[in-house]
Amino acid sequence: MNKIKHLSIYGDSILKGVVLNNDTGRYQTSNEFDLVKLAQQYGIELDNYSRFGCTIQKGLPIVQSHLQKGLPCDVALIELGGNDSNFKWDEVEKAPEAEHIPATPLPLFKRMYSELVVSLKQKGILPIICSLPPLCAERYLAWITRNGLDKERILLWLGDANAIYRYQERYSLAVEQAAWQLDCPFIDLRGEFLSKLHILDYFCEDGIHPNSKGQDLIIDTFRERLNALPQSV
């Protein structure tokens, strides 16, 4: 394969570089997470279309619209699934005995994810698929209940806090499976985070967004991939 010339990124807040500001309790984009600078080091033109809260249901129409207009890239990096696996926690708290479905049910996620990848390949664009960074379940549960939601009622539905992690992991496994089935390069961001003993040190207080240290790990993972294949994808 030829060297990457033009890369488009379709992701969520992770690759948009969003972090939680502990002083304000608000989300903001980190100036230290500079994918553009990394791309420039390798002579790659970059368009980052990552969006806060993006799901496959939002991302697929964006990709299809770009393809219709003539997406100029030769490679597209995809990092989606975290928001798809999330639940409406206020509804869970109100009715812990009821059935609840995530933002995108897993079968629909798999189908739409494959459609996104195939649509890129049909236009001669190589998709590179990223696994999902893990979440820190206890920290995330504390975050979603910080404003008054009853933690015990949510746990009544979950069974245990780590159920949040396990459910999100199913989406990351689905992404990895899509990479192998559709013959796409795969970057295991999840594995890089899980290799760290003190994983909490890499995440914001919300338990889902990598902090500056976690963002450095993502950049280093991408750089290692580029260094390993200096003249190719």
How far apart CA 138 and CA 165 sit, in angstroms, is 9
Given phi > 0 = left and psi -120 to 50 = alpha, else beta, which region is 114?
alpha
| pTM for the predicted model, two decimal places | 0.94
Residues in the chain with pLDDT < 50? Answer: 1, 230-233
Residue 229 near residue 158 (C-beta atoms within 8 A): no
Domains of the chain: 6-228 (3.40.50.1110)
For residue 159 the two structure tokens come to: 């069974």
Q: Which pLDDT value is given to residue 227? A: 81
Q: What is the pLDDT of residue 2?
A: 58
The closest alpha carbon to 134, from 191, 70, 92, 59, belongs to 191
Hey, is 93 helix, strand or coil? helix
